[in-house]
Chains A and B, each alone.
Chain A
Amino acid sequence: MIKQHPEPLLWMLFSAGGVMSGMLMPALLFLFGVAFPLGWLTPPTYEHVRALLANPLIAVTLFGLVFLSLFHWAHRFRHTLYDGLQIKHLEEVIATLCYGGAIVGSAVAAYLLWQAR
């Protein structure tokens, strides 16, 4: 029996987050961060965006994107600090801040999406 520690679960979340963010983020950032500001494409009307956010399937997808992406960031950033900067004595503090941050961000997304329904 394997010892019970959270690494396998955290790695699964990291992997799922990597796939989700890889699939969804480039196109979304291209639209809202590059194309619309540069005037290459016309931004959607307020009503359209509001309706998109109210859609339950879209809301669930967006929540999944935020939750998994933040856990992807948390896992990777924690390892980078550990390996890159060799800050081993702060191991537990870093883990708490990273995964804690991911939970907080996900809670904010859940709250906003709930308000938008």
Chain B
Amino acid sequence: MRDHIKLQVARYLPEKQSEPSFDEHEVPCPKDWVVLDGLNYIKDRIDGTLSYRWSCRMGICGSCGMTVNGEPKLTCATFLADYAPGPLRIEPLRNFPVIRDLIVDIGDFMRKLVAVKPFIVRRYEKPLSEGEFLQTPQELDEYKQFSMCINCMLCYAACPIYGLDPKFIGPAAIALAQRYNLDNRDEGSAQRMEVLSEHAGVWGCTFVGECTKVCPKHVDPAGAIQRYKLTAAIDSMKAFFMPRGA
């Protein structure tokens, strides 16, 4: 009875359609099957033209984010049995342009990620002969949560601000900037501040908090953003009152 589930899969074939449509398929749902298994079943046995992204199938690569029953989810981490008998609606990730079927263009995020310089920035590189950086567990804890980001962009799909204003730099980019700002090996806070303190940087965020809710890795980008707002605001006051001392 509950060993099959109806999937409604969004299709968009730009050469043939100008609007998306939905295909319905019954797929088996053993208790260990996830949505991705269902999609692979469709592609392997029913309709090979279905297109979607996936890779590791274990929640670490960040490729398989899609909108499942209206919620942004990793399809490799969402169990079919929880929704049986369905219908379960699978659509492409929200707030990104759809290239085909369930595939979205993630170029905007990629450009923003590069803009926040997500790597250790130092004034002078430490030579190898001086050995490695030593970091205490406490120093690691300062940024560890933000380092868990797998760039799956579920937070961008959940963020209404990003949906309304695609210029907004977005939750993951800011969380990743914070991952480096709070890393005591990094000396690049000032460089990141330029892009973060723009109008479409952190100041676009109104703390809806949805990004933190949907994050599969518990990164808490909303917390990272509010924390950065306070840091940036205090720095701004310091710069205003002590322009040379800053």
Report whether A9 and B206 are in contact in the complex, using a CB–CB cutoff of 8 Å.
Answer: no
Known: A1-B239, A2-B239, A86-B164. A8 touches B194 (CB 8 A): no
Contact partners of A48 in chain B: CB under 8 A: none
Report whether A9 and B235 are in contact in the complex, using a CB–CB cutoff of 8 Å.
Answer: no
| Residue A12 CB within 8 A of the other chain | yes
| Interface magnitude class on chain A | 10 to 19
Stretch of B136-144, B150-158, B196-204, B214-222 lying at the A interface:
B196-204
**Chain B count of residues within 8 A CB distance of the other chain:** 20
CA gap between A99 and B5 in the complex, in Å: 54
Report whether A11 and B239 are in contact in the complex, using a CB–CB cutoff of 8 Å.
Answer: no
Task: Count A-B contacts at CB 8 Å.
Answer: 41
Contact partners of B199 in chain A: CB under 8 A: 5, 7
Contact partners of B230 in chain A: CB under 8 A: 15
Report whether A83 and B206 are in contact in the complex, using a CB–CB cutoff of 8 Å.
Answer: yes
Report whether A3 and B203 are in contact in the complex, using a CB–CB cutoff of 8 Å.
Answer: no
CB-contacts of A1-49 with B (<8 A):
1-3, 5, 7-9, 11-12, 15
CB-contacts of B94-136 with A (<8 A):
none
CA gap between A15 and B232 in the complex, in Å: 14
Q: Which of A5, A8, A88 has the most CB of B within 10 A?
A: A8
Question: Of B161, B164, B229, B236, which is within 8 A of A2 by CB?
Answer: B236
Report whether A9 and B236 are in contact in the complex, using a CB–CB cutoff of 8 Å.
Answer: yes
Report whether A79 and B237 are in contact in the complex, using a CB–CB cutoff of 8 Å.
Answer: no
Report whether A9 and B233 are in contact in the complex, using a CB–CB cutoff of 8 Å.
Answer: yes
Distance of A2 from chain B, by nearest CB (Å): 4
Distance of A16 from chain B, by nearest CB (Å): 11
CA gap between A83 and B160 in the complex, in Å: 8
CA gap between A88 and B232 in the complex, in Å: 25
Interchain residue pairs A-B with the least CB separation, the first 9? A8-B236, A7-B203, A8-B233, A2-B197, A12-B233, A79-B206, A2-B193, A83-B164, A11-B233
Q: Known contacts A9-B236, A11-B203, A83-B160; can you find 20 more A-B pairs with CB under 8 A?
A: A1-B190, A2-B194, A2-B197, A2-B232, A2-B235, A2-B236, A3-B194, A3-B197, A3-B198, A7-B197, A7-B203, A8-B197, A8-B229, A8-B233, A8-B236, A9-B237, A15-B230, A79-B206, A83-B164, A88-B165
